[in-house]
Amino acid sequence: MGERSAIRLVVLDRDGTINEDRDDYVKSPEEWVPIPGALEAIARLHQAGWHVVVATNQSGLGRGLFDMYTLNEMHLKMNALLAPLGGRVDAVFFCPHAPEDDCRCRKPLPGLFEDIRLRFGLDDMSAIPAVGDTLRDLQAATAVGCAPHLVRTGKAATLDEAGVQALRDQIPGLTVHASLATFAEALLGAERKKHSDARAEGKRLAGGGAPA
C-alpha cells in the first residue's frame, strides 16, 4: 500500500451537510447559508490535520439554474467564511449533470469518490469517513469502501427513528450524528482516545509492566 494511502481525509456532502438545503436548489452565493456549527467543525478538522474535501451533486448546472461562475462564487464564499475560523476545504468534487444525463458521477453512483481516490492516490478508502444527509450520499461512499456517517440535518432532519433505522438496514456500519459539529467531535474524540491509549501502552511497555 502506498504511503499516501495513510492520508487523514474526510469527505463531506455539501447541501444539507455544510449549508442549508433548499427545495428550489441553492442557486447563488446569497442562498448559500452555512448550517450553524458546520464551518467551525470543518475548521476543527483542518486544525487537527485532516484534509477536508466535498463531494456534491450540483444538477442546477445541468438544469440551467446557475453557471460555473456562480458555483465558484459559492465555494469562494464558503472558504472566505472558513478562513477567519482557521479552516479550509481542500477541494470540491462536483457532478454538474442533470439526472437524465446518465453520468457516472451523480451520487448514488461512485464517480466522485473514484475521482477523489485518484486525486489523492488512495489504495484503500476504508479508513476515510464520508458524511452526508441522504441515502445516495451514503451509497456512493460505501461503493468505494468509505466509512458512512449520516448527519441529521438537511433532508435527514425530518427522519423519525424508523427512517433512521431503515437507513441503518440499507447501509451496514452506518454511524449517525446530530450534525457535522457532533461528527467532528466524535471523530476527534476517538482520535484523542487512540493516541492516549497508545501513549499509555508505550509507558507500560517501557516500564516492563504486564497487561491487565
Which DSSP symbol is given to 6? G
Which DSSP symbol is given to 209? P
Sheet with 147-151, strands from edge to edge, namely 91-95, 51-57, 9-12, 129-132, 147-151, 175-177
In whole angstroms, what is the distance from residue 163 CA to residue 167 CA?
Answer: 7
Is 93 within 8 Å of 126 (Cβ atoms)?
no
Look up 124 and say whether it is catalytic. Answer: no
Catalytic choice (15, 21, 115, 133): 15
Of the candidates 109, 151, 107, 111, the residue with the CA atom closest to the CA atom of residue 129: 151
Write the single-letter amino acid at 41.
A
Look up 15 and say whether it is catalytic. Answer: yes
Catalytic choice (13, 21, 115, 137): 13
**Which cell numbers hold the place of 7?**
492520508
Residue numbers annotated as active site: 13, 15
